[in-house]
Amino acid sequence: MSENSPLVSIIMGVHLDEGTLSSSIKSILNQSYNNFEFIIVNDGNDKEVTRVVNRIDDPRITLINQEKIGLTACLNIGIENSNGIFIARQDAGDFSQKRRLQTQVDYMLKHPSIALCGTFVNEKAESGHDLGITTFPTENTEIKKNIISKNTFCHGSIMINKEVLIEVGGYREDFTRAQDFDLWLRVIDRFKVANLDLPLYSRTISKSSISFKHGQNQDAYADVAIKCYRARLSNESEPLHLLKVITDESLNEKQANKVEVKYNFYCGRKLYQNENMKVARGYFLKAFKQSPLSFKNAIFLLLTLLPKIIRTPIAGSWFLVKKLFGLKID
């Protein structure tokens, strides 16, 4: 093994194949960087997942069939069976650009003080509409400043030094949701982190994703992660007992409607930012019909109907009001 080409272990936890697993796996196998192992943990021993992986038949893949234990535990099993200097993530169904691993390895070797490195992300809607590039803070100071208030990493895009990952305790299995956020907060306690300002990772934004379907539940776990982070900063005991009172309930009709509204507004906002007003209007209109009393849905629907020379100052005034009064529109 060359010092300039350290072994990278890619970890993927997968429960079901939604039709994109094969392409997702191949996006790793087709990397320009060659010194890697690909550990896939089949959460629930799904026969279709096994069939897809076996059909690809690549010696760099290690398939671990596991009874259903959830993503967090699956990731730890993958890490336990890894041999790499660096651990990289890949979510099932997402895609890595051909030079993703090479670019991240080069950066980590050039900046040995950086323990964890993510990337910008290309996103598209379930409909196939291009939502553009999602950016994140890039420098350690900026990330640390913003990590409590906004998402600062795409989990599937990260690469982390394995020694650091083990030192901070890996993924904590009590966090069945927001396990990545809890990890970031424990890493930045003691190490520097970064994001590359390159869209080296691609994902489809789905209504069935945890962020939308179980957003409230995930937020509850994230709140505990923040409380634990602040407790560590104050040299106090972490309030992990708060995790025991979080319940994962099925969505009722009203909650399911909120998921639809949130998803349509998110896609509309991304398209609005990319100046694709015609398609953005369609998403805002869906959100408005589902939640006609929402002021933000009405405002953004109206903005898409206006010419840019009028739309821009109105939007600027709206964002100023939002900032002054602390309104949340995302």
Q: Reduce the DSSP state of residue 131 to 3 states and report it.
A: strand
Strands (E), the chain: 8-14, 36-43, 61-66, 86-89, 95-96, 114-125, 130-134, 159-161, 192-205
Other CB atoms within a 10 A radius of the CB of residue 1 amount to 9
- Residues 6+ away with beta carbon under 8 Å from 204: 20, 93, 94, 123, 124, 125, 126
Ordered DSSP codes for 40-71? EEEET--HHHHHHHHHH--TTEEEEEE-S--H
* Ordered domains of the chain (ranges, CATH): 8-210 (3.90.550.10), 259-325 (no CATH)
Q: In a structure prediction context, what are the per-residue pLDDT tens digits for the chain, which is 330 residues long?
A: 456 799 999 999 999 888 899 999 999 999 999 999 999 999 998 999 999 999 998 999 999 999 999 999 999 999 999 999 999 999 998 999 999 999 999 999 999 999 999 999 999 999 999 999 999 999 999 999 999 988 899 999 999 999 999 999 999 999 999 999 999 999 999 999 999 999 999 999 988 765 665 567 888 999 999 999 999 999 999 999 999 998 766 656 777 788 899 999 999 999 999 999 999 999 999 999 999 988 889 989 999 999 988 888 777 666 555 555 455 555
pTM, two decimal places: 0.90
- Entry field: residues in the chain: 330
